[in-house]
Amino acid sequence: MGHCLSGALRFTAIFSPLRCPSKPSTFLTSIRAFGTSRRFSIMSAASLPASVEALSLQSTAQKSQFANCFPTLNPMDIYRQHIAEELAKAADIDAQKIYPRIAWTSTLDKGDLSLPVCGRRRNSWLLFRLSKKTPWSLLRSLPPSSPPPTLFTPPTPLGPHIQFFCKPKPLTDNVLGRILKEKSAYGTNGNQGQKDPSDPSKGQKKIIIEFSSPNIAKPFHAGHLRSTIIGGFLANIYTVMGWDVIKMNYLGDWGKQYGLLANGFKYFGNEEALVKDPINHLFDVYVKVNRQVSEQEGPIKELKEQIKAKKEKSEDVAELETELAKLVDVSEDEKARRYFKSMEDGDPEALALWRKFRDLSIEKYKQTYARLNIDFDVYSGESQIKSESMTDAYKLMEQAGVSEKSEGAVIVDFTKHGAKKLGKAIIVRKDGTPLYLTRDIGAITERDDEYHFDKMIYVVAAQQDLHLAQLFKVTELMGHKDLASRCQHINFGMVRGMSTRKGTVKFLDDILRDVGDKMHEVMKKNEVKYSQVEDPEKTADILGITSVMVQDMTGKRVNGYDFNLDAMTSFEGDTGPYLQYAHARLCSMARKSELDVNELVNANFDLLTEQHAVDLVRLLAQWPDVLLQTAKTLEPITVLSYLFKMTHMLSSSYDVLKVIGSEPDVKQARMALYASARQVLHNGMRVLGLSPVERCIGRQERDE
């Protein structure tokens, strides 16, 4: 094996050149000769949020001998392919075993690509296993290399890995040329979402993402906020990976509380207020009628305690029970139960009022979601689940021996089915009414029948881990193992201390209004810059929303965080406003340069020789891999960390790579670099669901 590796490492001298002309347009033309490349807009409806419209997608008909290798879509795939093919020739190793082990690096000091070559454990790095010689000693023993390859400098060892550093010129020509031509499509890969990569005619894989799911007439709490932000991000990442994405909002829109709300509306409702602001008005009604319920519960509870005490003494309780029955009969809680029963029985008048509440609430939600750059394809809910679906599920569970009767109720004892940690779950109450789990079982089968999805994701807080695990397990036990395997729960931690400055209820609009007001206060402190912003209130609103979303995405999903209004609205540190500032500064530079952005692709990239420029190009080359990695982790922080790394690099380069005042050719080349960085930053922010601004006011704002 040592001899084999020694021969393999000689590829430092024998790499065959890959044609990379200095002119990016020529290079892209030659690359596309491998196959056709197409780009199209995923969404085009005028009513959709701007960020949804801006999500573009490119795919290719190019064929490669390596799985998931698309040189026309990902510049680093050219380099991976070249390493695998040439190393296979030199070392007499199957290139198919080499290619998937060539990894992108997390930091530029570790190279642009890395290949593990040895390990102690049996399953570590099957490509090469060395017992005596390290990669370093092998490299030192090689004879002097002949002229270096076209694409790489000679490889270097780092522990058990070999590092590959791309040569600056061909990489710069490639990457900047792609970005300036492909724009919003750069980094996307529609081939990832194909049902069969070998036969694109079979179409895209379909995914349902269920997220947000607030309860009508109740506060839009922290869990709903996180679900909304994370779900919107997941929809975007699957979109740019070529999946057919269905965004579903599963509303809490059914149950006895709607009987309570309907009756409460008779006492406290106002049609004008309902139409003007349905969410807040229905919540006010709900609070007031619940106050009545609480007042009535006191005497009822007291009577129940008296009856219990008398029964323990074997005393007659008939009179008290009659009195209790009268109190219960006229209570709002009992009236709500009867009203909801009429809804379930299909009473037209009851359903008409419920439908009005639901429809008006959805219209209001749509306005709020639009501020977060989110739209839904389907507004579903508990009310939409057919009773036949639940009945069929009962029968199937009974026939499969999954369910059993227990004290008048129907349950599933998971401990009897090899899942002790899942405990027991009630499917049907003693009174015959279904529970949330029952409706979810009906929903999962209905969705499969209607959409024939390849994958379905539930974006729900970690507190519901048990519920979702029970849902997937019972689906499997019912005989739908394949269906259960296509479902995934994406969980998240909770937000601590989220409230508005006024101490009011935690509706999303209230929170967004608070952060928007805070950002407006910051902007007003710079009077000169404030006067240059065309619509400062709208900009403040966008900055505020960015603040909330970026704070939510900082850290892994499963971790909770403290809602900190002052910290999230700061222009210092890795915050939403800082990210917006970085984008706005690049836009400002483009305006002041007075260069035609459409001509930047013709710039002389050979002039970008400074290490700051080289490293920035290397980072921009990683963007397609960042998206692919994010599609695996499903963590917003994967994209966010990359964007902040880029903004830090940009910040340190401005004094070295000056645009204003430079020689014309140098000015154009540097502006091409910064325009490419702005495009990738813009693309990344769009994937996160943010709306990049072109003008921003912060303490760091200054002239270029």
> Token pair 């999230």 is at which residue?
568
Answer for the pair 451, 246: CB distance below 8 angstroms, yes or no. Answer: yes
How wide is the angle at C-alpha 646 spanned by C-alphas 645 and 647, nearest 5°?
A: 95
Question: Mind spelling out the 3-state secondary structure of 202-266?
Answer: HCECEEEEECCCCECCCCCCHHHHHHHHHHHHHHHHHHHCCCEEEEEEEEECCCHHHHHHHHHHH
How wide is the angle at C-alpha 62 spanned by C-alphas 61 and 66, nearest 5°?
A: 130
Give per-residue burial for 1-32: e unless 16+ CB within 10 Å, then b: eeeebbebbbbbbebeebebeeebeebbeebe
Which is nearest to 459 in space by CA: 222, 223, 205?
223
Two tokens, residue 184: 């919003």
Rg (Cα) of the chain, in Å, rounded? 31
Active site residue 224: yes
Answer for the pair 473, 415: CB distance below 8 angstroms, yes or no. Answer: no
Active-site choice (82, 169, 221, 518): 221
Two tokens, residue 237: 């990442």
Identify the helix (H) or strand (E) that includes residue 428.
strand 424-428
Identify the helix (H) or strand (E) that includes residue 404.
strand 403-406
Give per-residue burial for 647-659: e unless 16+ CB within 10 Å, then b: bebbeebeeebeb
Strand 244-251 and strand 206-210: pairing? Answer: parallel
Active-site choice (161, 169, 224, 335): 224
Q: How far apart are the first and last CA of the chain?
A: 57
Which is nearest to 370 in space by CA: 27, 6, 689?
689
Which is nearest to 584 in space by CA: 529, 645, 522?
529
Active-site choice (82, 205, 218, 335): 218
Contacts of 354 (CB under 8 A, 6+ apart): 258, 262, 343, 383
| Residue type at 526 in one-letter notation | N
Answer for the pair 66, 96: CB distance below 8 angstroms, yes or no. Answer: yes
Active site residue 221: yes
Helix axes 623-633, 664-688, angle to 10 degrees: 10
Answer for the pair 159, 115: CB distance below 8 angstroms, yes or no. Answer: no
Strand 37-41 and strand 56-60: pairing? Answer: antiparallel
DSSP 145: P
- The span from the CA of 532 to the CA of 522, in Å, is 15
Secondary structure E strands in 70-139: 103-104, 113-116
- The span from the CA of 419 to the CA of 413, in Å, is 9
Please list the active-site residues.
218, 221, 224
